[in-house]
Structure 1
Amino acid sequence: MYGGNSWRQQIYTSLRTRNKVECENIRDLISSYNRLFDYGESLRLETKQLNVQNEKLKEELILSHNNRSSPGVPSSSTLLNGSTCSVNIQHYEQKIYKLQEEVTELHRRRSENSQQLVELNQCLQERDRVLVSLRNKLAEKETELLLLKENVTALEAKIQETEEHNQLLRDEYQALNLTCNSYEEKNKKLIEENQELIQRWMVLKEKDAERMNEENEAAVKKRQEIVEKNLKEACLESKLVIEEDKFATLSPICFSSCLPSKPFLSFDAHEEEVNALVFSDQGRLLASGGSDRRIKLWDINHGTADQKAILSGSNLAVTAIDFDSDESIILGASNDFACRVWTLCDLRLRHTLTGHSGKVMACKFLAEPSRVVTGSHDRTLKIWDLRSRACMKTLFPGSSCNDIVVSDSQCSSVISGHFDKTVKFWDLRTEDKTYQLPLQGRVTSLSLSWNGCYLLCSVRDDSLRIIDLRQNKIIQTLTQEGFHIGSDQSRAVFSPDGAYAASGCGSGSLIIWNVDTGQVEKTLREHTTCVLAVAWHPKGKIITTCDRSKKIIVWGDF
């Protein structure tokens, strides 16, 4: 109720204010118009009276005229009255004429004033319309103002809430900082204790080494005595001696690789896609790893795929495989954050190397079968000692590692390919990164030539790059129209003689380049899905490929 009286009073006040402002401009005109109107009314009354007198005079004039036209001679008084009447008539006629002129002028001025009044009314109506539009705009602006005030209130509340949240985060940060400091102190103490334990352990190891050296010296002396005794006995007898092949354990030497022209063997190797392929150093066995969590060993040297063994133990897909130089141990990396070691003599799982916090994508043996290097998606490289089953060293490249190669005979240098489009060179003796070479895409695989002078890099910009390790620069880029790397784990390889490079394509083709000319030598098509890995036999006579459809194809001219 109070609100209703309020807006009525407001409208009434607004109308009075508008009337006062707008009437002030035409107040003089209204006053002059009223005066002219009163003056015109008085003149009209006066004119009416004069008309009455004029009529009377006309009647008297007519009567006098009739008297003059009647028989008899008029008297002198009659003539005098007639002349007086005529003079009065003329006087009144002139006065009437003047009054008529004044009335006409007043009518003209009245019409002008009426016209001005009409124009002022129109102006007033226009101002009323403008005022209405301004009021509407004012109402809209007031509504917008109310909305803006509501938004400001909401934003202020949100700012207050954000400040409270920030204060809470600051408090949590301080608490975490204190916790971190305490953990750092504990870690420092643990490191000191660890150093002390390592020193004690080294002392014990030195003592064990001295004892073993003494035992070995005693055993060597005993063997020498036995050998001398046997030699003396052998000198007394004549026996046929058959010389053994002392080079039987060495890797076969490939003088010239063969370029196959057709597949001679195709088979489904795993229950799911095949991720890794690798030949043993002698070429006797082919190992394949798949998403079915198994490593399978094959003999394909006789034109058939003879499955020799199945190695199980991985909890997720196998991503990389490597044989040791004696073909007695096999190493397998897996997506379950671990790397495993099997012995081939009894096909038993011997070690499980855990410590990575991401998928293990690469694994390689170092100079001796007891040392292993692995690379993971957790952006670390780890060096393992299989005798102690412990991580000896951790390197931090700062990016996910997709592949690793060992670049010298002492296995003191390691090269890793990474997701951040770089190839990194490591010296394991200093634990430092010695060099970093940027490329144009993510590195999916690395392959070292037989002489260790060249490195083949498979890059996700759909090219293969050859790096001269003596100069640490790219000397050749291998591309082909329609060629594209189909996966971040695609593997490309050098041929055993280093003359060719082979890689699978996302379309299912196998492409072989001449390393010297950079030209494509052959394109082989048999796969129907993306080729993930390529392995070249150490003797250079056959090539094997695997794809996402569980299939392994052996290429050769048997």
Structure 2
Amino acid sequence: MQRAAERRARGSGGKAAWKLHIIRQLRHRDRAQHGAFQELIQSYNKLLEKSVILKDLTEKIQTEPVMSPRSRPPARVPPDAPLLAGSEAPPTLQEQISAFRDYNGELAVQACELKKGVQERDEELQKQKSSISFLSTLVDDHQRQCECLENEMVRLVCSNDDLKEDYDQLLTRRRLLDRQLHDAAEKQRELLESLTKKKAMEAEQQNNFNERRKEEIWRRVVKKALHKSVSAEADLRHQRCLDLRDSTSLVLSRSHEKEKTCPRKPRSQSMISLGPSKLMGALRSWFDFGKRPDDCSPDDDWCRPSSVCVICCLPRRALYSKEVHDSEIHAVKFSPNSKMVATGGADRVVKIWDVVGGQLQCQQVLHGCNGGITSIEFDSSGAQVLAASFDGSAHLWKLDSKSSDTLTGHMGKVTAARFKMSPYRAVTSSMDRTIKEWDLHKAACIRSIVVPSYCSDVVCSDSYMISGHHDKKIRFWDSRSRVLIREVTLEEKVTSLFMEPEQRQLLSCSRDDVLRLIDLRMGSVLLTFRADGFKCGCDWNKAILSPDATYSMSGSSDGTIFIWNTQTGLLERSLSGEHRAAVNAVAWSVSGEYVVSVDRGRKAVLWCEY
């Protein structure tokens, strides 16, 4: 019947495929369960046969007459009937009946147990049928999901092919744009090199012209000054008169400006007794054409120091030595009039000191920093103080109004903060690898340059900025275009930079215990300063030039201060005995009279010549 049903299902085609599938499952279940119930069926058949035999015997016993045991014929015992224990004679019929009844009871018990087992198997079979039905439904669901996933895979493959085509087109376009960008960068670099060379040539020509003009004016003044001996004040007045007759109106205006802002102390000795070098220094201080640009307007509020350094004196003796902070001191700076000194360090405050009678008297304490002070700078008028801090910002204080502003925007420690030529512009450098230019009126960043390495120090003019880095390089940046103009590579990472007021030379200090004097016009190293015992004590060790750029100075890790001659490159003097810890920074007054040094031991020392 099953085969006939299969044939009918096959004849009906695909519409009756499910019937064929059910028939196959039934046949498979019949084969799987036939063996499990085979033993039960055989036992049940044996039980039926024995029941029939027992029934026949019972009927015969009821029909036969009762006979005595002696006349009773021997009963037929089934071959598998149990024998009575301890009896050698064949059992009687009654005993056989009892034995068969007992055996029948046992068979009934076995039949009940087998029936119970059959019921359990039926229940298990029913559960298996339910499980098979559930699994069949689950298989159908999975098949449908597989079909959906296959369709989705086909769609994704097509989409990926389209995206790959778009990516290939974009990659080709990117390569083309990269080539164009590289060509443009090469052209820009060539233009910058040509422009730099042209500016260098023009600057060299202008410098030569200015030098010839200065020499001519000096020659006239010296020629007239050698015929008479007058006081320094009278000679300077006479020199201004000569300047009115011989120089242009621009030189005249500058001379009057210096006369108002730079009063000189009269000396009893004559100008001739100063000697040729001091006389030339005095003349240079009055006839310096590079101090202020010709195109500067009064609205720019440019201020020059009120004290002019005719000649710097080498410090010899310590006038004042005292612990002035609660922790190590990182920075020190003189004001433009040489009457005030600012110090700052790890105790998060900036202290303003008056230089009175060879001593430092605390005038003011500036608060507001949340981190240690790394550098301090006065503006050209001395009315504002700018400090860089480890709290990721720079702080600006106005000494006259006692107000303050905070320049925030850096993500790392601010290592240096400098005023530009205008007192309303400032530049900061940070360990977050950025250099930022600030508008101090708005306390806002107006320009930012991303640099390749940690920036340890920065100096600037109106047209360019110079930064020192931990990757052993000094980089020159154009202030407006933010383009890298030049690089100078040193032996170790740079700790500080110092640019002379003339903006012709740059002094760098690095961790290889060497100071280098760099020509800013040519970008080459002019001199290197070394000394036995000199060792750069930290990553922010400051080195400076004297106001007349005649000497360079830096502190060492053993507390000694070293001074070199910038003309010969030789060590002029070393100052020791006052500091017991590493000297972090030094400052030279604009008048050339005083030097202040600070160290890690919280001490500040005031030095002078006499």
Query: Which of the pair has more CA radius of gyration?
Result: 1
Q: Which residue of 1 aligns with 2:124?
A: none
1:424 aligns with 2:478: no
Q: Is the 8 A contact 1:512 1:520 kept in 2?
A: yes
Q: Which residue of 1 aligns with 2:553?
A: 502
Counterparts of 2:453 and 2:359 in 1: how far apart (Å)?
41
Q: Is the 8 A contact 2:433 2:452 kept in 1?
A: yes
SS at match of 1:387: coil
| Alignment match of 1:542 (pick from 582, 594, 608) | 594
Q: Which residue of 2 aligns with 1:358?
A: 412
Deviations 1:298-334, CA, capped at 9 Å, x for gaps: 0124212111100000011011111111112111110
The Cα shift of 1:388 comes to 2.1
The amino acid across from 2:541 in the alignment is: S
Q: Is the 8 A contact 2:581 2:599 kept in 1?
A: yes
Q: Which residue of 2 aligns with 1:280?
A: 335
Between the aligned residues of both structures, percent identity stands at 39
Counterparts of 1:450 and 1:498 in 2: how far apart (Å)?
9
How many residues in Structure 1 have an aligned counterpart in Structure 2? 312
Q: Which residue of 2 aligns with 1:513?
A: 564
| Alignment match of 1:380 (pick from 411, 434, 439) | 434
SS at match of 2:569: coil
Question: Cα–Cα, structure 1 residues 301 and 453, in superposed 2: closer, same or farther, change >3 Å?
Answer: farther
The amino acid across from 1:341 in the alignment is: L
Deviations 1:355-390, CA, capped at 9 Å, x for gaps: 101000000111322211100000100011122221
The amino acid across from 2:437 in the alignment is: I
1:481 aligns with 2:532: yes
1:324 aligns with 2:352: no
Deviations 1:377-433, CA, capped at 9 Å, x for gaps: 0010001112222111110111111111124xxx12111111111111111111111
1:531 aligns with 2:586: no
Q: Which residue of 2 aligns with 1:459?
A: 510
Question: Cα–Cα, structure 1 residues 244 and 403, in superposed 2: closer, same or farther, change >3 Å?
Answer: closer
Deviations 1:140-174, CA, capped at 9 Å, x for gaps: xxxxxxxxxxxxxxxxxxxxxxxxxxxxxxxxxxx
SS at match of 2:369: coil
Question: Cα–Cα, structure 1 residues 305 and 401, in superposed 2: closer, same or farther, change >3 Å?
Answer: same
Counterparts of 1:475 and 1:325 in 2: how far apart (Å)?
28
Counterparts of 2:565 and 2:594 in 1: how far apart (Å)?
17
Deviations 1:485-533, CA, capped at 9 Å, x for gaps: 0000000000011010000001110000011111111111021110000
Q: Is the 8 A contact 1:309 1:347 kept in 2?
A: no
Please give the TM-score of this superposition, normalised by the length of structure 1: 0.55
The amino acid across from 1:518 in the alignment is: G
Q: Which residue of 2 aligns with 1:554?
A: 606
| Alignment match of 2:345 (pick from 286, 290, 296) | 290
Q: Is the 8 A contact 1:356 1:376 kept in 2?
A: yes
Backbone CA RMSD of aligned residues: 1.5
Q: Within 5 A, what are the aligned runs for 1:49-64?
A: none
Counterparts of 1:244 and 1:454 in 2: how far apart (Å)?
24
SS at match of 1:246: helix
The amino acid across from 1:415 in the alignment is: I
Question: Cα–Cα, structure 1 residues 250 and 366, in superposed 2: closer, same or farther, change >3 Å?
Answer: closer
SS at match of 2:466: strand
Question: Cα–Cα, structure 1 residues 244 and 401, in superposed 2: closer, same or farther, change >3 Å?
Answer: closer
1:263 aligns with 2:315: no
Q: Which residue of 1 aligns with 2:48?
A: none
Counterparts of 1:466 and 1:488 in 2: how far apart (Å)?
19
Counterparts of 1:316 and 1:244 in 2: how far apart (Å)?
40
Report which stretch shifted further, 263-272 or 297-306. Answer: 297-306
Moved segments of 4+, more than 6 Å: none
Q: Which residue of 2 aligns with 1:93?
A: none
The Cα shift of 1:272 comes to 0.3
Q: Which residue of 2 aligns with 1:253?
A: 308
Question: Cα–Cα, structure 1 residues 301 and 425, in superposed 2: closer, same or farther, change >3 Å?
Answer: farther
Deviations 1:103-140, CA, capped at 9 Å, x for gaps: xxxxxxxxxxxxxxxxxxxxxxxxxxxxxxxxxxxxxx
Question: Cα–Cα, structure 1 residues 389 and 523, in superposed 2: closer, same or farther, change >3 Å?
Answer: same
Deviations 1:332-355, CA, capped at 9 Å, x for gaps: 110000111111003222x11111
1:393 aligns with 2:457: no
Deviations 1:14-68, CA, capped at 9 Å, x for gaps: xxxxxxxxxxxxxxxxxxxxxxxxxxxxxxxxxxxxxxxxxxxxxxxxxxxxxxx
Counterparts of 1:442 and 1:284 in 2: how far apart (Å)?
34
Q: Which residue of 2 aligns with 1:437?
A: 488
Counterparts of 2:258 and 2:568 in 1: how far apart (Å)?
43
| Alignment match of 2:363 (pick from 308, 315, 319) | 308
Question: Cα–Cα, structure 1 residues 255 and 483, in superposed 2: closer, same or farther, change >3 Å?
Answer: same
Counterparts of 2:325 and 2:585 in 1: how far apart (Å)?
14
| Alignment match of 2:459 (pick from 378, 382, 405) | 405
Counterparts of 2:478 and 2:428 in 1: how far apart (Å)?
15
The Cα shift of 1:245 comes to 5.8
Counterparts of 2:609 and 2:550 in 1: how far apart (Å)?
19
